[in-house]
Structure 1
Protein backbone atom coordinates (compact mmCIF):
# COMPACT_ATOMS: atom_id res chain seq x y z
CA UNK A 1 0.00 0.00 0.00
CA UNK A 2 1.34 3.40 -0.93
CA UNK A 3 1.05 6.52 1.18
CA UNK A 4 -1.22 8.48 -1.13
CA UNK A 5 -3.88 11.00 -0.09
CA UNK A 6 -7.00 9.24 1.14
CA UNK A 7 -5.24 5.96 2.05
CA UNK A 8 -5.05 5.03 5.73
CA UNK A 9 -1.73 5.40 7.56
CA UNK A 10 -0.14 2.16 8.74
CA UNK A 11 1.85 3.96 11.49
CA UNK A 12 1.53 7.19 13.42
CA UNK A 13 4.19 9.83 12.87
CA UNK A 14 5.50 12.70 10.79
CA UNK A 15 5.15 12.19 7.04
CA UNK A 16 6.95 14.33 4.46
CA UNK A 17 5.29 15.26 1.17
CA UNK A 18 7.37 13.90 -1.73
CA UNK A 19 7.06 14.79 -5.41
CA UNK A 20 6.36 12.33 -8.25
CA UNK A 21 10.08 11.87 -9.04
CA UNK A 22 11.19 11.61 -5.40
CA UNK A 23 11.97 15.26 -4.75
CA UNK A 24 11.48 16.29 -1.15
CA UNK A 25 9.35 19.36 -0.43
CA UNK A 26 10.42 19.93 3.19
CA UNK A 27 6.76 20.00 4.28
CA UNK A 28 5.55 17.49 6.87
CA UNK A 29 2.18 16.42 8.18
CA UNK A 30 1.37 14.55 11.38
CA UNK A 31 -0.82 11.54 10.65
CA UNK A 32 -2.31 9.12 13.19
CA UNK A 33 -2.49 5.35 12.57
CA UNK A 34 -5.62 4.28 10.61
CA UNK A 35 -6.50 7.88 9.71
CA UNK A 36 -6.54 8.90 6.02
CA UNK A 37 -3.70 10.95 4.59
CA UNK A 38 -4.73 14.55 3.83
CA UNK A 39 -4.72 15.95 0.26
CA UNK A 40 -1.36 17.07 -1.13
CA UNK A 41 -0.80 20.59 -2.55
CA UNK A 42 -0.08 19.25 -6.06
CA UNK A 43 -1.11 16.21 -8.09
CA UNK A 44 0.99 13.01 -8.07
CA UNK A 45 2.61 13.71 -4.69
CA UNK A 46 2.72 11.15 -1.88
CA UNK A 47 3.86 10.81 1.73
CA UNK A 48 6.96 9.16 3.24
CA UNK A 49 7.40 8.42 6.93
CA UNK A 50 10.33 10.45 8.33
CA UNK A 51 9.74 10.34 12.10
CA UNK A 52 7.60 7.52 13.54
CA UNK A 53 5.77 8.03 16.82
CA UNK A 54 7.79 6.58 19.68
CA UNK A 55 5.12 4.86 21.75
CA UNK A 56 3.38 1.48 21.72
CA UNK A 57 0.12 2.85 20.30
CA UNK A 58 1.91 4.09 17.16
CA UNK A 59 2.96 0.63 15.99
Structure 2
Protein backbone atom coordinates (compact mmCIF):
# COMPACT_ATOMS: atom_id res chain seq x y z
CA UNK A 1 0.00 0.00 0.00
CA UNK A 2 1.17 3.52 -0.81
CA UNK A 3 1.62 5.99 2.06
CA UNK A 4 -0.67 9.05 1.70
CA UNK A 5 1.05 12.45 1.48
CA UNK A 6 -0.27 15.57 3.23
CA UNK A 7 -1.40 18.58 1.17
CA UNK A 8 1.19 21.35 0.86
CA UNK A 9 4.13 18.92 0.82
CA UNK A 10 6.70 19.95 -1.76
CA UNK A 11 9.58 18.25 -3.59
CA UNK A 12 7.50 15.20 -4.50
CA UNK A 13 8.17 13.25 -7.72
CA UNK A 14 6.32 14.64 -10.73
CA UNK A 15 3.22 12.78 -11.85
CA UNK A 16 -0.49 12.29 -11.23
CA UNK A 17 -1.89 12.28 -7.69
CA UNK A 18 -5.36 11.28 -6.48
CA UNK A 19 -7.13 12.55 -3.36
CA UNK A 20 -7.86 9.92 -0.69
CA UNK A 21 -9.44 9.95 2.77
CA UNK A 22 -7.55 10.31 6.06
CA UNK A 23 -6.81 6.56 6.23
CA UNK A 24 -6.15 6.12 2.51
CA UNK A 25 -9.68 5.14 1.44
CA UNK A 26 -11.54 6.46 -1.57
CA UNK A 27 -13.53 9.69 -1.40
CA UNK A 28 -16.53 10.67 -3.57
CA UNK A 29 -15.62 13.01 -6.44
CA UNK A 30 -11.91 12.67 -5.65
CA UNK A 31 -9.70 15.29 -7.26
CA UNK A 32 -6.88 14.22 -9.53
CA UNK A 33 -3.97 16.59 -10.11
CA UNK A 34 -0.73 16.56 -12.07
CA UNK A 35 2.34 18.20 -10.54
CA UNK A 36 5.78 18.82 -11.99
CA UNK A 37 9.10 18.28 -10.20
CA UNK A 38 9.45 20.72 -7.28
CA UNK A 39 5.75 21.71 -7.22
CA UNK A 40 3.74 21.66 -4.00
CA UNK A 41 0.70 19.39 -3.59
CA UNK A 42 -2.50 21.51 -3.60
CA UNK A 43 -5.12 21.63 -0.82
CA UNK A 44 -7.71 18.86 -0.69
CA UNK A 45 -11.50 19.28 -0.74
CA UNK A 46 -11.86 18.37 2.92
CA UNK A 47 -9.57 18.76 5.91
CA UNK A 48 -7.84 15.49 6.74
CA UNK A 49 -7.78 14.16 3.18
CA UNK A 50 -4.40 13.40 1.62
CA UNK A 51 -2.81 12.56 -1.75
CA UNK A 52 -1.41 9.33 -3.24
CA UNK A 53 0.61 8.96 -6.41
CA UNK A 54 -1.06 6.88 -9.12
Q: Please, what TM-score do these two structures have when normalized by structure 2? A: 0.74
Show structure 1 runs of 4+ deviating over 4 A.
Answer: none
**Which stretches in structure 2 are left out of the alignment for 5+ residues?**
none
Aligned length: 49
Higher relative contact order (CA 8 A, sep 6+): 2
For the pair shown, the structure with the greater C-alpha radius of gyration is 1
Q: CA RMSD in A?
A: 1.6
Note if 1:46 corresponds to 2:30.
no
- Structure with higher strand content: 1
Q: Please, what TM-score do these two structures have when normalized by structure 1? A: 0.69
**Which stretches in structure 1 are left out of the alignment for 5+ residues?**
51-59
